[in-house]
Structure 1
Amino acid sequence: MAINKENNIPLYTQLMDLILDEIESGKLTHGDKIHSERELAEFYSISRATVRQAISELEKQGYLHKVHGKGTFVSNKRMNQELNGFYSFGEVIEKEGKKPSNKVIDLSLREAGVGLGKIFNIDINDTVYVLSRIRLADGEALMYETTYLPTWRFKDLKKMDIEKFGLYNALKNIYSVELSSADETFYPCILDENDEKFLNITPGDCGMILERITYENNSVIEFTKSIVRGDKFKYKVHLKTL
Structure 2
Amino acid sequence: MMLNKDNLYPLYIQVKRKIIEDIHNDTYTEGSRLPSEAELCEKYAVSRITIRRSLQDMVDSGYLVRKQGKGTFVKRGKIKRSLISAEGYTEYMKETGQKPERKIVEKMIKPCSPFIAKRLSIPPDSEVLELCRILYIKDVPLGYEVNSYPIMRFNGLEAYIDDRVSTHEVLQEKYGVTLKNAYKVLNVLLASEKTANYLNCNVSAPVYQLDKTAFNQYNTAVYHSLMYYDVNRVSFVIEDQNDE
Q: TM-score, normalised by structure 2?
A: 0.69
1:224 aligns with 2:209: no
Superposition TM-score, scaled by structure 1 size: 0.69
Indicate the residue corresponding to 2:172 in structure 1: 172
Q: C-alpha offsets along residues 185-212 of structure 1, whole Å, 9 cap, x if unaligned?
A: 1111222322133221122322100111
How many residues end up aligned between the 2 structures? 199
Cα deviation for residue 225 of structure 1 reads 0.3
Q: Give the distance between the partners of 2:145 and 2:159, measured in 1 at CA.
A: 15
Q: How does 1:13-162 map to 2 (within 5 A)?
A: 20=26, 23=29, 26=31, 28=32, 32-35=33-36, 39=39, 68=53, 70=55, 74=74, 76-162=76-162
- Cα distance in 1 for partners of 2:104, 2:241 equals 39
Give, in whole Å, the separation in 2 of the partners of 1:112 and 1:211.
16
**Corresponding residue of 2:196:** 196
After TM superposition, give the deviation of residue 172 of structure 1 in Å.
1.0
Give the secondary structure class of the aligned counterpart of 2:199.
coil
Q: Give the equivalent residue in structure 2 for 1:62.
A: none
* CA 1:174–1:211: 2 relative to 1, 3 Å: same
| 8 Å Cα contact 1:104/1:159 also seen in 2 | no
Partner of 1:4: none
Distance 1:69 1:136 in 2: 22
Higher CA-based Rg? 1
Query: What SS does the aligned partner of 1:154 have?
Result: coil
Q: 1:33 to 1:87 in 2, by over 3 A?
A: same
Q: Which runs of 5+ in 1 are unaligned?
A: 1-15, 41-47, 53-65
AA paired with 1:122? Answer: I
Return structure 1 stretches of 4+ with deviation > 4 angstroms.
Answer: 69-73
1:10 alignment partner in structure 2: none
